[in-house]
Structure 1
Amino acid sequence: MDSSSGANEAGPKRHSGSREAIIEAAGRLFLERGFGSVSMDELAKASGVARRTLYNQFETKEDIFREMLLRVSGKLEKAFPPGIEPHGDVEDVLRVIARTILELHKQPEYCGFLRMVVADSRQFPWIAEEFAAVMEPQTARLVEYLAHQTALDILDCGKPVLAAHQFMGMLNEISLWPWMIGRESIPFEAEDVVDETIRTFLQRYRPPQSKGH
């Protein structure tokens, strides 16, 4: 009886471990060789699982990509956390967002996934479309926040979509894009990047009467 119980406990763990191994191998091979150049048999071998186990977990490479995308989505949820509150101090809220984005950029698996999307989206347009479907709602949360702050006359973002992309773009330029093109990150302390990004952004988008406060 005890032996049977132990077997039941081990099964889900092996199941979970196989899935994790497949995702890890897929991330590595997709980045090294491109999505279209990797076969399911190669994924089974690289992940150390039987071919049958692989197909029990994922029917196609597209399913593996979508699983990876769900994980990126979870990371993005943390990058735009519940701290985006209408009544919070705007500088504090922007600081939460900026710090978390920079932390996200430090994660090799996240940046590797982005590189894969850029490399393969021309051959497989659906990759870019599905990635955009995950990214755009997260960006929309920042857009909505900036629009709300503008309605309260705390900010003056006549084009909140543009303003949101400008804010994220300043952070991406320093910590993401150097990595994407294989260069070292620009050597600035994270807090300096956060401070200057917020200062630059608010210098442009804070209404004149409140800039002195």
Structure 2
Amino acid sequence: MSITESDTDRAAPRAEPESTKRRDIIDGARRVFFDKGFDGASMDEVAKAAGVSKATIYVYFSSKEELFEALVLNDRARSAEHLFEVDTSTGDVASVLRRIGISFMTMMVQPDHIRLVRMVIAVAEKFPRVGRSFFDAGPCHGGQRLAALLRQQADLGRLVLDDDLADAHLFLNMCQGKLAKELLFGNPTPPTPAQIEETVDRAVRVFLAAYGAKA
């Protein structure tokens, strides 16, 4: 008896986090979820968008919830890889914070990010694990990354911190101002780079007034 492609896929081990087929499924799911929303998306549509059979999807993901959770984790991990890539050994602390804040806010106001946050909020009550996964991989992980960078600056004598993690979240929240919330609640016009810079510069001034090392 010949072995079909779907038979081979069905026999494949479930733990293949970096497999090409798994990435194709997540990419297809991203297009469908962003177009139809979580409730409106079907696994048939995801299979068509990914160029695989529905049976193949279930080799890697047991449900639509699990697939959406994988999409959330994948997107947040990719964002985290680039979010805080700054050279903290050179320049003054204000410049370091400014670069981090602008990078963070440029990502936060992207249309795909806003759509993803809206979907997570919509499904979090029904599937709290998805909401928790988003928080852990996004805000929580971002805060931890920034806390480590703030500690480096404190070790260089540039900051005097109260609590690394709490101070990191405070800075990120100040960088957002009202810009991200306006988009989440329906403002169709994204902020300009100048508006992002103005909000971040204000956050940097306030943060350094509280935590900057005094001469």
Query: How would you bin the TM-score normalised by the shorter chain?
Result: 0.7 to 0.9
Shift of residue 97, structure 1, vs aligned partner: 0.5
* 2: CA distance, partners of 1:207 / 1:48: 52
Shift of residue 44, structure 1, vs aligned partner: 4.2
Give percent identity, aligned residues only: 24
**Which residue of structure 1 aligns with residue 113 of structure 2?**
110
CA contact (8 A) 1:80 1:142 kept: yes
Aligned residue identity for 1:200: V
Shift of residue 78, structure 1, vs aligned partner: 1.2
Shift of residue 179, structure 1, vs aligned partner: 0.8
Aligned residue identity for 2:57: Y
Choose the corresponding residue for 2:175, options 152, 156, 171.
171
TM-score (norm: length of structure 2)? 0.73
Cα deviation digits, residues 107-166 of structure 1 (max 9, x gap): 211121111112211110110221233122331121122233334432121122222111
Query: CA 1:127–1:194 in structure 2 vs 1: closer, same or farther (change >3 Å)?
Result: same
Aligned residue identity for 1:207: A
CA contact (8 A) 1:170 1:197 kept: yes
Aligned residue identity for 1:20: D
Q: Secondary structure at the match of 1:157?
A: coil
Query: CA 1:158–1:86 in structure 2 vs 1: closer, same or farther (change >3 Å)?
Result: farther
Whether 2:211 is the aligned partner of 1:205: answer yes
**Which residue of structure 1 aligns with residue 135 of structure 2?**
132
Listed as ranges, the gaps of 5+ residues in structure 2 are 1-19
CA contact (8 A) 1:102 1:190 kept: yes
TM-score (norm: length of structure 1)? 0.73
RMSD across aligned positions (CA): 3.1
Aligned length in residues: 192
**Which residue of structure 2 aligns with residue 65 of structure 1?**
69
CA contact (8 A) 2:118 2:184 kept: yes
* 1: CA distance, partners of 2:160 / 2:21: 54
Query: CA 1:20–1:159 in structure 2 vs 1: closer, same or farther (change >3 Å)?
Result: closer
Listed as ranges, the gaps of 5+ residues in structure 1 are 1-12
